[in-house]
Chain A
């Protein structure tokens, strides 16, 4: 079981890189502190988790708290620096991943995909776009957190790996015409995630992949890619 978040600063917002960093850290920190995953270890909690509905409700509360904490953290930074909060505009995609499903909330044009043990690829979130290709919503937009919580999505599928990415990779990872994840993009990433035995080495491999000529030939945006395997299912 794991929690994950990615955030991408808005191109037009001068301090959006710091906004994105603060937002993602606050979201994950909140989930680790009071969300479901932190409670996943003890025998007693595992018994309680047999009540699936109760667990799901807790996960949803955790995710709501995570997004609210991200918004609050961005506000705190803006106030401390004397910047308008829109100068920290960023997207945020956030997920609680369990072997039997993913719960996710998202503001903006990120993408969260689950890959099953059989290689089946499921979009947990899809990028939110405005009418036009250069428009999306941001964590700092009016009402964005409430809308994202209303639109929280859950994919009840067996999960071997989860992939989160930001908009720079969308045109490589999504088949736009059918609005579906490009399976041949995600399946090798899931195999990669399953084989990770050293995080630093794996991170270096991923960075090299993102900086490789064949990726750079297709996008000049900044890129964020998070891959994680759920590991063997609990007995």
Chain B
């Protein structure tokens, strides 16, 4: 592993050496959206890597300042569109922290439930796309990808039955949730998580002991504990590097204090460790989802009457930061209010954005083929990186 470099100098042109500057992205099969990497290669080995982001910038934070507290939750899902529920939750938590909004227990439980279902769906997508990065669209990678999507579809079906949408839900609102569970839904969720639990075994049978998979992931892209803490990565990456930190347990929000679950930690810090962490998280999410369903209290889902007009929610002057454990790590939302119906300033802390910062430290020294494997194991979502 090369040591941490403050700045990679990219040598343009050949300059007498056998170096080759190759552009990867923003249009590239494994750019995970629109990530652009300038790789300086010596043969197949990457000697320097420059990350260029911003191709999906949509002025999201400015948009948040023009939309009211009523309108924005359904747009908040567009930051991290793969795990929309958690970004919505971060936003409404920030607003609730700012004002004095009580959230009924049923709504709290539902928030946890959808967040965990979302985590399952998001990890499904991660596993699938990551394997596709390593295995190609015309090979076993695509098979794992389609298996994962097949199972993710089940979760999305449940969320669709709940909210009517498959990707951008608008499930949360300030003071509670917008939708209550339909009749018979909890039964279906139980079936779904049981089904996914069985299918996880199947994915593991395809990958876990597979020598081909192991040589591609073990010892590749090692993020040391120190580097992880220095760069400030979060979520499964951080836990894969041996740091035992999970907001759900260490700073419980919503009703996470009521549930028992295990936070997986792996010490190795390589792609395989991250894989192991996420595979355990699948199972822990299923466990939490079951506990929520067992203990789902009766009662209202919102402490406020249903939204009737655009400026209905007002919060006092002040500022607040709320953070939740998204599928990719700490998703934070910072809001400054001037007392009006919309934030004066808002800021997102995207987990993918912070996690990407580790790439230039770990990629040099690896082969081109490892670059995509490392990229996939970081699991960035570019809606959240560029915002």
Partners in one complex: no
